[in-house]
Structure 1
Amino acid sequence: MTAQMTNNESGTELVVSEPAAEVRVSVDSENSEMATWRKVVESATDIISDLPEYIGRFFHQNGSLISAIGWLIVALLGIRVLSALIGTINGIPLLSPLFELVGLGYSIWFVNRYLLTSGKRQELSQEVNRIKQQILG
């Protein structure tokens, strides 16, 4: 078996000779690589040029979901900041017991004002229903 490579203007040609048969293979590697590269660049250019349209369509189709996720993130950040603020305030030596006393005093007032007698409980129930009606319509 003998192999012979020749270069000509159309590419590289490999000739393999055997006593019984001869096979010729023509390889045009430079042109095929350039064509592949052109296709990749053209495809990337098309995608990039249509990107604003894709993004606009995505936001239009999923606007409420994106809005809900945004509000959820804002709420979580707000809770995180509030928690840090309360932790900082509770770290001040005299304020923590003072806040506990204020909370205890408010709880005693609320029980005395709304929960001790049935008439006051009904008044509280009516007030809650009125507020619920205003919110829900």
Structure 2
Amino acid sequence: MMRAAGIGSMGLATAVIASMTSASSAYAVEIEQLLGRWSVTEYDECQYADDSEGAPLKLERDAEGTHIGNYGWLCTVKAWTKDGDFLLGSAKDCGSEGGDDTFDEDFVLGLNAQDRLLMSRDDKTGLRRCPAVQ
């Protein structure tokens, strides 16, 4: 299971959404299709281990819920609802490294036609899926 670490008080959307370049519509998915490691398009974060500061975004699931985060911060969503082509979830008591205060975060997740993870309805670029770790 991932452990909390942090990107400070910066919101998730600010930290991971890349530049908006080309429009791509999302398509309906299940959370299982989104599990794995995801990197911004401009950098190869996939090369970094999950316990390093350069780690990509990771989504994993266990009995406690869906864990979303990377080295530095962690949120857990217990339940997802579908809203059109997107999944909506809320996390309570997210943690970040170096911060004593927890925070709540709402998530909007989807996939575009290029199999990129969208983290908002307005995201046009998305995060690319990292190859499976050997």
Does TM-score exceed 0.5, indicating one fold? no
Would you tell me which structure has more strand in proportion to its own residues? 2
The structure whose RCO (Cα within 8 Å, separation 6+) is larger is 2
TM-score by length of 2: 0.19
Question: Quick check: which has more Rg, 1 or 2?
Answer: 1
What is the TM-score normalised by the length of structure 1?
A: 0.19
